Amino acid sequence: QTFTVTLSILILALLFLIFCRFFPPVPALGLLAATAFGVFIYRAGKAQVELLFYFVSFCAFVLLLQLFVRPRWWLAVLAGATTGLAHLTKASVVPGLALWVAVYAVAIIWSAERGRRLTLLVLVVASFFAVIFPYIQTSKRIYDSYFYNVNSTFVMWCDSSTEAFEFLDKHGDKDKWREVPPDERPSFHKYWREHSAGEMVRRIWKGSLDLATQNARAIGYYKFVIALLIA
């Protein structure tokens, strides 16, 4: 607990320096307060990877955005490597990187320096894979997938959190889930086969409502977002 609290204080200090790089002192202090008392305070007392992941992935986000306005080769390498480190911290950044690649590719079309920016895009992706390659190589050997993730592989295709917890409790080990016949494992194909289009739409609609109402109240920083929008 002492370690995580100390780490959170260090990360907040570094975040404040980053905020001051892009905002005046008062807005930077406001962002710091919202981050500290709306996010970090709920995580700092536990031995979790989230605080480090939030920081590293935020740094990757800032660096990737900077490539739109400051196309530099060293910045591309740093952005890709930082994104790779964020992935190693917690494997949740691939959709964000894919979105950046798509947007940057579109930006290249309207750029006068297409060749240079295309090179930067390649550098970002190459740096990302250079950092994560040992990890994804091991993932492929153990789970038969370079980007194996228990949530996207099994959990999201269950009908409820209860069903997901029961499946993971029985078959969550890296070897036990192999004992379940492929047709019985939670998967996209199984979900598509057993549910109608109407059920899929209702699930997305209900989940969106829960996220906007019930779950939002459990997240400390939602009130800061509302205050920012009103201001």
- Chain mean pLDDT for the chain: 90
Per-residue pLDDT averaged across 207-225, rounded?
73
**Contact present, 164 and 158 (Cβ < 8 Å):** yes
- The Cα diameter of the chain in Å comes to 58
Task: Count, in order, helices (H) and strands (E) of the chain.
Answer: 12, 0
Burial of 55 (0-12, 13-18, 19+ CB in 10 A): buried
Neighbours of 126 (CB within 10 A): 14
More confident of the two residues 228 and 166: 166
Q: Could you tell me which of 21, 121, 123 has the C-alpha nearest to residue 68?
A: 121
More confident of the two residues 178 and 135: 135
Residue 84 clears pLDDT 70, i.e. is over it = yes
Per-residue pLDDT averaged across 142-163, rounded?
88
Residue 100 clears pLDDT 90, i.e. is over it = yes
The Cα 113–Cα 101 span in angstroms is 17
What single DSSP character describes residue 153?
H
More confident of the two residues 1 and 96: 96
**Contact present, 147 and 91 (Cβ < 8 Å):** yes
Q: In the structure, what pLDDT confidence band is assigned to residue 217 with cuts at 50, 70 and 90?
A: low
Percentage above 90 pLDDT, the chain: 57
Residue 219 clears pLDDT 70, i.e. is over it = no
Alpha-carbon Rg for the chain, nearest whole angstrom, is 21
Instruction: Please give the pLDDT value at position 216.
Output: 64
Instruction: Please give the pLDDT value at position 179.
Output: 81
State pTM to two decimals: 0.84
Residue 88 clears pLDDT 80, i.e. is over it = yes
What single DSSP character describes residue 42?
G
Neighbours of 63 (CB within 10 A): 20
Instruction: Please give the pLDDT value at position 220.
Output: 66
